[in-house]
Amino acid sequence: MAKTDKLAEISEKSNTRIKETTGRIAFKIFNTVLMVIIAFVCLAPLLHVLFASVSNPTLLTQYKGGIILWPLYDAAHSATLKGYSSVLANSSLIRGYANTFFYVGTGTVLSVIFSAIGGYCISRRNTLWMKYLVIMMTITMFFAGGIVPTFMINKALGIVNTRWVMIVMGLMSFFNMIIVRTAFQAIPASLEESAQLDGAGHLTILFKISFPLAKATMAVIALFYAVGKWNEYITAQIYLTDRALYPLQIILREIIVQSSGTNEFNLSDQGNYSEYKKLLQYSTIIFATLPILCMYPFVQKYFVKGVMIGSIKG
């Protein structure tokens, strides 16, 4: 009987709602308003570019206001998708898109594999000289050889003006290796010991035990590498001279900054050529941003979990 009363008392306490005081209600309202403002600040630039990309080019050129939160059109000037049709008809942009997909896909896969191997190596317990090796690798996070020595090395390797330079450059990040190492160190050592007793080697332990158990961290690392490879611009500008190898970001810069890339668009039947330049710039930005926006929701569920598991513990 006493046990039943105690359970009832616990249940009653758990069902008791926190009293909504005036200060608590004000705090909730303030938090809600603040989050709405922050969300709007984050979404406004994207909405501006999206709505501008389908606006009438004449009204878009004449527009002198601030952020566009609705497509610009009226009875005499209709909204249009001609910017996107022109983008899809541009061979250089499509080729740059294909190159970027190749660089991102190949580079991300190789970067994740090598980061996992490196993180696994430096996560080994009681390994001789590992402490000093980690210190030496940490120094590379703060000091680099410079552009000229790096260019000379890549030229000696014969990868300048090839696709490999876009993949090899930035292949591994020691910061990401530290995150992977911490995630691997969180795995119980008894699992590895059991696998070793069954005859498993280091590669088997890495790819069949450690890698699957740290998949949340590996997904976040893959996202980091993919976004970095997608936005890669300086490497292409320094090492690539063949236009057929240009990634999307170089073509995008020509269109947005230099406006030289707009000469390759077929706008002979679009009326005033100068009016369509701005429309093409906005359409190209959406065209270049869309894949990352589509990929992020699928990886986002691993983001917080992966970073917290692989975070550096003090």
Q: Which of 46, 80, 114 is the last residue of a domain?
A: 80
**In this structure, are 51 and 184 located in the same domain?**
no
The answer to whether residue 272 sits within a structural domain is yes
Reported as a single tens digit per residue, the pLDDT across 139-164 is 888 887 788 888 898 899 899 999 99
Same domain for 30 and 100?
Answer: no
Q: Does one domain contain both 62 and 191? A: no
User: Is 5 inside a domain boundary?
Assistant: no
State the pLDDT at residue 268.
Answer: 47
- Is residue 2 in some structural domain? no
Euclidean distance between CA atoms 224 and 77, whole angstroms: 42
Give which of 5, 104, 48, 57 is closest to 286, Cα–Cα: 48
Same domain, 229 and 261: yes
Q: Give the end of a domain, one of 38, 54, 80.
A: 80
Cα distances (angstroms) measured from residue 186 to each of 40, 81, 181, 217, 309: 38, 51, 9, 12, 8
At residue 314, the pLDDT reads 44
117 and 58 co-located in one domain: no
Same domain, residue pair 113 and 261: yes
Does any domain span residue 8?
Answer: no
Could you tell me the pTM of the whole model? Answer: 0.75
Q: Of 63, 80, 97, which closes a domain?
A: 80
The CATH number covering residue 230 comes to 1.10.3720.10
Residues 110 and 38 in one domain: no
Cα separation, 231 vs 235, in Å, equals: 10
- Whether 285 contacts 252, CB under 8 Å: yes
When pLDDT is cut at 50, 70 and 90, the band that residue 2 belongs to is low
Measured distance CA(179)–CA(220) in Å, rounded: 10
Look at residue 13 and tell me if it is in a domain.
no
Residue 275 lies in a domain: yes
Residue 301's pLDDT is what?
Answer: 67
Same domain, 99 and 234: yes
**Which residue range(s) make up the domain with 201?**
85-309
Which pLDDT tens digit goes with each residue over 51-110? Answer: 888 888 888 877 887 788 888 888 777 888 887 887 777 788 888 889 999 999 999 999
195 and 250 inside one domain: yes
Residue 15 lies in a domain: no
Query: Which range has highest mean pLDDT (9-13, 189-193, 251-255, 269-273)?
Result: 189-193
Helices 174-185 and 273-309: crossing angle in degrees, nearest 10, is 30
- 26: in domain: yes
Number of domains in the chain: 2
Q: Who has greater pLDDT, 270 or 229?
A: 229
- The tens digit of pLDDT for each residue in 29-66 reads 999 999 999 988 888 888 888 888 888 888 887 788 77
Q: Are residues 111 and 184 in the same domain?
A: yes
My answer on whether 182 and 255 are in the same domain is: yes
CB neighbour burial string for 120-149, b if at least 16 within 10 angstroms, e if fewer: bbbbeeeeeeeeeeeeeeeeeeeeeeeeee
The least confident of 4-8, 129-133, 159-163, 284-288 is 4-8
211 and 151 in a common domain: yes
